[in-house]
Amino acid sequence: MRVVQDILTVYSWVGVGVLIVFLWRIAYFYEKTSKRWVGHYLLIIPGAILLAGVLTYLIAGKPLVGDSLGDLLFFVGGFGVAVFGIRLQELMTGEQS
């Protein structure tokens, strides 16, 4: 059962990783075409924090709830990705509200 749980955990987080890579590529493309600084490489930081959260859960052997350090890493990494995405959207849409 543990092996199946680990496979599903890795499988789901690979999907999250792919979405982060798409966001990074969109930011990179926008930065190159608009000649405006976006800081696309800064997305590596929350991505690495999310990866650390996944590894924490895999090492602890728990399901995706209940590990304080893993939960904190997920929160901080997710918050960082959200802030980056919102900032990118504001840059791309002309910062209109």
96 within domain boundaries: no
Q: For residue 30, is it within any domain? A: yes
pLDDT at 61: 75
| Residue 64, burial from CB neighbour count under 10 angstroms (0-12, 13-18, 19+) | middle
* Within-domain flag for 89: no
Domain that holds residue 53: 2-82
Domain assignment present for 91: no
Residue 29 lies inside a defined structural domain of this protein: yes
What was the pLDDT predicted at 88?
A: 93
Count of domains for the chain: 1
CA 84 to CA 46: how far, in whole Å? 9
Query: How much is the pLDDT for 26?
Result: 94
b (16+ CB within 10 A) / e for 66-93: ebeebeebbebbeebbeebbeebeebee
What pLDDT, in 10s, does the model give residues 9-40? 778 888 988 999 999 999 999 999 998 899 99
- 97 pLDDT above the threshold of 60: no
